[in-house]
């Protein structure tokens, strides 16, 4: 039987780091839905499309082919965009792209397809509420904005992405606002999700907590 685990939460809450580790331990497939919105944003920015113009951004929906490959590789129309989609110029625009219903519908269809054939851990903003409403386990992972900014800042430094802590904190707060105030499938906890505050936990502690939640929920379902 295929199991589906939804991990939602605000920007830079450590969802992908944790989801990747848990997926490896449990042998599930990890699906980073944020990378898909980022790849779409990268396409618009590199093709002179204004991400704040909904009509122009939606018009190219059939021209943007996104693939998630093993080892976190992201392709956009066959081009490896794994690194550029993490750059600040993409982060600063991705929430606009993610607020357009027609783009979401196209990417959500792909996400649901990926979850059909295998056990998955999918992270994003609307996985438990919209993409996989029947997910076996739903977790809403949070941390204070300050903690999240520091974590993303350190992650970027490791990846060689230039930025300042102030820029990151401003970006995280702005994205949280846009992501949770959009009309269609906004960021919010599913009614049946488990809230996990990671502000004072190490990565390994969060991984253990997530695995505990998964085991408990799967036992309850038996």
Binding residues (CB under 6 A) for ligand DC: these are 11, 33-34, 37-38, 94-95, 98, 124-127, 175, 179
Question: What distance in Å separates the CA atoms of residue 215 and residue 15, rounded to the nearest whole number?
Answer: 18
CB of 112 or CB of 216, closer to ligand DC: 112
DSSP conformation class of 207: H
- Asked if residues 90 and 38 have their Cβ atoms less than 8 Å apart, the reply is yes
CB of 12 or CB of 207, closer to ligand DC: 12
- Asked if residues 135 and 124 have their Cβ atoms less than 8 Å apart, the reply is no
- Asked if residues 95 and 175 have their Cβ atoms less than 8 Å apart, the reply is yes
CB of 24 or CB of 112, closer to ligand DC: 112
Closest distance to ligand DC from the beta carbon of 130 (Å): 8
Question: What distance in Å separates the CA atoms of residue 7 and residue 20, rounded to the nearest whole number?
Answer: 11
Closest distance to ligand DC from the beta carbon of 220 (Å): 26
Among 198, 34, 192, residue whose Cα is nearest residue 123: 34
CB of 186 or CB of 208, closer to ligand DC: 186
């Amino acid at each position: 039987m295929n199991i589906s685990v939804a991990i939602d939460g605000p920007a830079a809450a450590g969802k992908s780091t944790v989801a990747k580790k848990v997926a490896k331990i449990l042998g599930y497939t990890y699906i980073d839905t944020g990378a898909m919105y980022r790849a779409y944003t990268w396409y618009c920015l590199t093709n002179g499309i204004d991400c704040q113009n909904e009509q122009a951004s939606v018009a190219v929906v059939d021209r943007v082919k996104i693939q998630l490959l093993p080892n976190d590789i992201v392709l956009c129309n066959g081009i490896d965009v794994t690194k550029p989609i993490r750059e600040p110029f993409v982060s600063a625009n991705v929430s606009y792209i993610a607020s357009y219903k027609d783009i979401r519908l196209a990417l959500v269809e792909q996400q649901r397809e990926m979850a059909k054939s295998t056990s998955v851990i999918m992270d994003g903003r609307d996985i438990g509420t919209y993409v996989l409403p029947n997910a076996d386990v739903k977790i809403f992972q949070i941390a204070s904005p300050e903690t999240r900014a520091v974590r993303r800042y350190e992650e970027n430094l490791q990846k060689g992405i230039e930025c300042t802590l102030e820029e990151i904190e401003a970006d995280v707060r702005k994205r949280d606002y846009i992501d949770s105030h959009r009309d269609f499938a906004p960021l919010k906890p599913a009614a049946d999700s488990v809230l996990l505050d990671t502000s004072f936990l190490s990565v390994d502690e969060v991984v253990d907590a997530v695995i505990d939640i998964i085991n408990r929920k799967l036992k309850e379902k038996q």
